[in-house]
């Protein structure tokens, strides 16, 4: 039996190369080896009040991005979270065994609570339990995510262990799978912050035109000195090297050799070319698929059917163990 992977992204706007290198690009490889399920987590997106706007458009866009990046509905299940109601049902069951103290510890919650000081909604607090439900509902073995989600996967594992202990063996214990090089792509304008949609300045989007890519890379901040060399004390060049390496499949060492007697200008010029080339097949496919929304929607409907079949069986087990059926 193949091991199962599950992962998801929120439909909250454009996807950047952090999402691509930290998540989707790896999924495209993984779908060949694993029993794979990839989700568009619209219920998670609802915790951000602005996300509610144009939700259907954003869902369709993210689905189109998944497909254009190389996820193949013949090899994996692609679906929208809210189309499988068992996710919310399991969330409630898991809520009843999740200690509040654990949720208060979550870094993402603490950050978001800072950001939305006046209006921290309950969903933001419960976000990691919904994510645990996503993962456990499919008896997931492996969860490929960026570094920032590791804590949430560990919480899902803790909840599964607690459930099994209290009600008998029910859930698989999931493990996070994190790719070292691209686990955390940083902002091009501030390498101390992670690249994110909310900081459009230093953010390279998957759909940026070649000119914009050149511009953004040319104006990316650099460290003091002029050497192209990995140094943990020089976060800007370390980040550009990580991006170069991920798009070229060359190691940091090989890239350092290549630019031994060259400066930042040459390096950045080549980096822009490599990123443009790397994104070209994706961008072409996306343009074509954007014209076929019905085709994409059908894939999602089919995906939800397949996902629901698995979900139904597992929610029944969980309810039975808890004495509800």
Phi, psi of 135 (to 5 degrees): -75, -50
When the beta carbons of 8 and 217 are compared against ligand TRP, the nearer one is 8
DSSP assignment letter at 185? P
Report, in Å, the least distance between residue 226 CB and ligand AMP: 26
Active site residue 112: yes
DSSP assignment letter at 196? -
When the beta carbons of 135 and 271 are compared against ligand TRP, the nearer one is 135
Active site residue 150: no
State the catalytic residue, choosing from 25, 112, 268, 286: 112
Task: Give, as ranges, the residues between 1 and 30 that touch ligand TRP (CB under 6 A).
Answer: 6-10
By the criterion CB under 6 A, which residues form the site for ligand AMP?
Answer: 9-10, 18-19, 22-23, 145-146, 148-149, 183-185, 194-196
Q: How many CA atoms lie within 13 A of 181 on its CB side?
A: 19
Report, in Å, the least distance between residue 237 CB and ligand TRP: 27
When the beta carbons of 195 and 228 are compared against ligand TRP, the nearer one is 195
Tokens of 274: 């490599």
Report, in Å, the least distance between residue 170 CB and ligand AMP: 26
* Burial of 171 per CB tally in 10 Å (0-12, 13-18, 19+): buried
Residue 5 parent element (H or E): strand 4-9
Contact string 137-176 vs ligand TRP (x = CB under 6 A): ------x-x---x--x------------------------
186 binds ligand TRP (CB under 6 A): no
Contact string 41-60 vs ligand TRP (x = CB under 6 A): x--x----------------
Nearest residue to 318 (alpha-carbon basis) of 189, 136, 158 = 136
Report, in Å, the least distance between residue 189 CB and ligand TRP: 22
84 binds ligand TRP (CB under 6 A): no
Q: What's the sign of the alpha-carbon dihedral 252, 258, 263, 268?
A: negative
Q: Helices marked H in 137-263 — which ranges? A: 150-167, 210-218, 235-248, 252-258
Active site residue 269: no
Strands across the sheet containing 76-80: 76-80, 35-40, 4-9, 142-144, 175-177
The answer to whether 8 and 40 are in contact (CB under 8 A) is yes
**Residues in contact with ligand TRP by the rule CB under 6 A:** 6-10, 41, 44, 131, 134-135, 143, 145, 149, 152
Active site amino acids: 112, 194, 197
């Amino acid at each position: 039996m193949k091991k199962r992977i599950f992962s998801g992204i929120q439909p909250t706007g454009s996807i950047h190369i952090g999402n691509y290198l930290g998540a989707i690009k790896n999924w495209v490889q993984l779908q060949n080896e694993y029993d794979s399920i990839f989700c568009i987590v619209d219920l998670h997106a609802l915790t951000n009040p602005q996300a509610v706007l144009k939700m259907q458009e954003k869902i369709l866009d993210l689905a189109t991005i998944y497909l254009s990046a190389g996820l193949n509905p013949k090899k994996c299940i692609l679906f929208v979270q809210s189309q499988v109601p068992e996710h919310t049902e399991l969330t409630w069951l898991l809520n009843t065994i999740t200690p509040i103290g654990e949720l208060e510890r979550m870094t993402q919650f603490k950050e978001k609570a800072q950001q939305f000081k006046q209006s921290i909604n309950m969903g933001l607090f419960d976000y990691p339990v919904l994510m645990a439900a996503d993962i456990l509902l499919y008896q997931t073995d492996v969860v490929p995510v960026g570094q920032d989600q590791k804590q949430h996967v560990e919480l899902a594992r803790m909840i599964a262990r607690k459930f099994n202990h209290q009600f008998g063996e029910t859930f698989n214990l999931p493990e996070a799978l994190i790719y070292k090089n691209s686990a955390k792509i940083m902002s091009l304008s501030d390498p101390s912050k992670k690249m994110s949609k909310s900081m459009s300045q230093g953010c390279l989007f998957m759909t940026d035109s070649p000119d914009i890519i050149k511009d953004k890379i040319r104006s990316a901040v650099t460290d003091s000195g002029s050497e192209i060399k990995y140094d943990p004390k020089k976060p800007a060049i370390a980040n550009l090297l990580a991006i170069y390496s991920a798009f070229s499949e060359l190691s940091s060492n090989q890239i350092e050799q290549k630019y031994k007697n060259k400066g930042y200008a040459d390096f950045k010029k080549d980096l822009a070319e490599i990123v443009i080339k790397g994104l070209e097949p994706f961008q072409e496919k996306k343009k074509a698929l954007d014209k076929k929304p019905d085709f994409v929607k059908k894939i999602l409907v089919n995906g939800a059917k397949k996902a629901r079949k698995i979900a139904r069986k597992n929610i029944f087990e969980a309810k039975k163990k808890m004495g509800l059926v």
